[in-house]
């Protein structure tokens, strides 16, 4: 079992729909990142969370430390949101390292 | 450009050859990570440096793989006797604290 699990693996939606991507982790963490990866490989960090909720434009990220669960929401989705969204955690035991989920491929259809 | 850079961006090699990739992190970042990503998968951890010390190596990093960060600045990842299964995107990231910045990756194709 992976230390970081994401669901769904693939998601196709119509433009304008509300999108939710989920991330569950099984290890102790000091921080969680939501990352965006476009075709061609470039990875950009969208959010870093250690508690609560963060919002940036149409993106909202939440984390529940007790339940070891985080969600990424996209409101009013747009075709330019099409990308792979990856959850990654900094583990807090021993040497910190960033461990990734397998990603969610999001396709928004006009 | 003050971001993380990786060279080369693409490498095609024949099975059995050795390859070396370079990562130049953001200058004040003390942590440097190497990851490998195959198609349809999230990045997999390979190894991690804090300054010049290699603190952790993944079991994925066989004896054919070696990484160095000699002066705590740039890092190199060498793969000896490449195999077709080594074909992947090799990603480097650097951080000071817990906010990583990623390089564009080096795509390796082993024929």
Residues of chain B with pLDDT under 70: 1
Contact A67, A74 (CB under 8 A): no
Strand ranges in B15-111 using DSSP code E only, listed in sequence order: 19-24, 31-37, 44-50, 53-57, 65-68, 75-79, 88-95, 101-102, 106-110
Nearest to B35 by CA among A104, A98, A94: A98
Pick A97's closest partner by Cβ from B45, B89, B105.
B45
- Counted across chains A and B, CB pairs separated by less than 8 A come out at 56
- Confidence at residue A80, expressed as pLDDT on a 0 to 100 scale: 94
- Confidence at residue B1, expressed as pLDDT on a 0 to 100 scale: 54
Compute the distance between CA of residue B5 and CA of residue B75 in angstroms, rounded to an integer: 11
Q: How far is A4 from chain B (nearest CA, A)?
A: 10
Comparing alpha-carbon positions, the chain B residue that sits nearest to A31 is: B98
Compute the distance between CA of residue B94 and CA of residue A61 in angstroms, rounded to an integer: 23
- Confidence at residue A72, expressed as pLDDT on a 0 to 100 scale: 98
- Strand-pair partners of A31: A90
Residues of chain A with pLDDT under 50: none
Q: How far is A64 from chain B (nearest CA, A)?
A: 19
């Amino acid at each position: 079992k992976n230390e970081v699990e994401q669901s769904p693996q693939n998601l196709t939606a119509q433009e304008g729909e509300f999108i939710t991507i989920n991330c569950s982790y099984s290890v102790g963490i000091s921080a969680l990142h939501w990352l965006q990866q476009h075709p061609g490989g470039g990875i950009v960090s969208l959010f870093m969370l250690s508690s609560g909720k963060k919002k940036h434009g149409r993106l909202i990220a939440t984390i529940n430390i007790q339940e070891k669960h985080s969600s990424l929401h996209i409101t009013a989705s747009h075709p330019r949101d099409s990308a792979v969204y990856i959850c990654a955690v900094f583990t807090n035991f021993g040497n910190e390292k960033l461990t990734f989920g397998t990603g969610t491929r999001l396709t928004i259809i006009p | 450009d003050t971001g993380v850079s990786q060279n080369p961006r693409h490498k095609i090699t024949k099975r059995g050859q050795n390859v070396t990739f370079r990562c130049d992190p953001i200058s004040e970042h003390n942590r440097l990570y190497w990851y490998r990503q195959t198609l349809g998968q999230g990045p997999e951890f390979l190894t991690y440096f804090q300054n010049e010390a290699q603190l952790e190596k993944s079991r994925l990093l066989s004896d054919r793989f070696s990484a160095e960060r000699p002066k705590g600045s740039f890092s190199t990842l060498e793969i000896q006797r490449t195999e077709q299964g080594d074909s992947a995107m090799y990603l480097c990231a650097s951080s000071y604290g817990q906010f990583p910045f990623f390089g564009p990756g080096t795509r390796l194709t082993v024929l």
